[in-house]
């Protein structure tokens, strides 16, 4: 990759460090999109032994790029995202990938297509972990940062995406129990 192209691309995706998500950190500040993607990649590495049939290197790549569009669009929480928002994000991804050399652009376009299709083991694992990471983040955040709807959504979000794996269902249940404990402990 040409040095100037690399720098230009990095300048654009740097916005992932600046753009905040709906989630908050345990220290009480907004989480960046980049922080979410990084921890999602760490989660994929940590569960690799549970999914020996899955190409974890590919999942880690997916984790690191899955929110690239948000460098341009900013974050829109999943429960507020519309079809129009998804189209805007897809357009932003195309704009961003156009900055890359053809071989990388083609590879990443393929990964984005695979993620959207949710038909491969890698895409399914990414989607499930993406949901679970968000729930863990919510449980780590101060309860006063939760929206009223999150009291129920933190108990059900991602259930459909973990249904294919006993391990992920069990992890989801552990996270759900953490949510219940958090809500009960801090209830008036």
Output the pLDDT for position 65.
Answer: 98
Tokens of 27: 């220290």
Tokens of 34: 């980049």
Instruction: Residues 3-185: name the CATH superfamily.
Output: Hypothetical protein af1432 (1.10.3210.10)
Q: How confident is the model at residue 187 (pLDDT cuts 50, 70, 90)?
A: low
SS3 30: strand
- Written as one string, the DSSP assignment of 47-63 is TGGG-TTS-HHHHHHHH
Output the pLDDT for position 185.
Answer: 84
Which pLDDT tens digit goes with each residue over 7-47? Answer: 999 999 999 999 999 899 999 999 999 999 999 999 999 99
């Amino acid at each position: 990759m040409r040095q100037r192209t690399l720098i230009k691309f990095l300048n654009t995706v740097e916005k992932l460090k600046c753009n905040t998500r709906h989630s908050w950190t345990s220290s009480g500040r907004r989480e960046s999109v980049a922080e979410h993607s990084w921890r999602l990649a760490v989660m994929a590495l940590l569960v690799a032994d549970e999914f020996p049939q899955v190409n974890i290197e590919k999942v880690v790549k997916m984790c690191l790029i899955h929110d690239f569009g948000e460098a341009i669009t900013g974050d829109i929480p999943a429960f507020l995202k519309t079809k129009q928002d998804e189209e805007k994000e897809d357009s932003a991804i195309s704009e961003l990938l156009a900055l890359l050399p053809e071989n990388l652009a083609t590879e990443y376009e393929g990964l984005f297509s695979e993620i959207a299709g949710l038909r491969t083991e890698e895409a399914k694992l990414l989607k499930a972990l993406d949901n679970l990471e968000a729930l863990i983040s919510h449980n780590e955040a101060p309860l006063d940062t939760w929206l009223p709807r999150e009291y129920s959504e933190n108990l059900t979000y991602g259930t459909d995406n973990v249904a294919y794996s006993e391990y992920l269902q069990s992890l989801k249940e552990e996270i759900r129990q953490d949510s219940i404990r958090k809500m009960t402990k801090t209830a008036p």
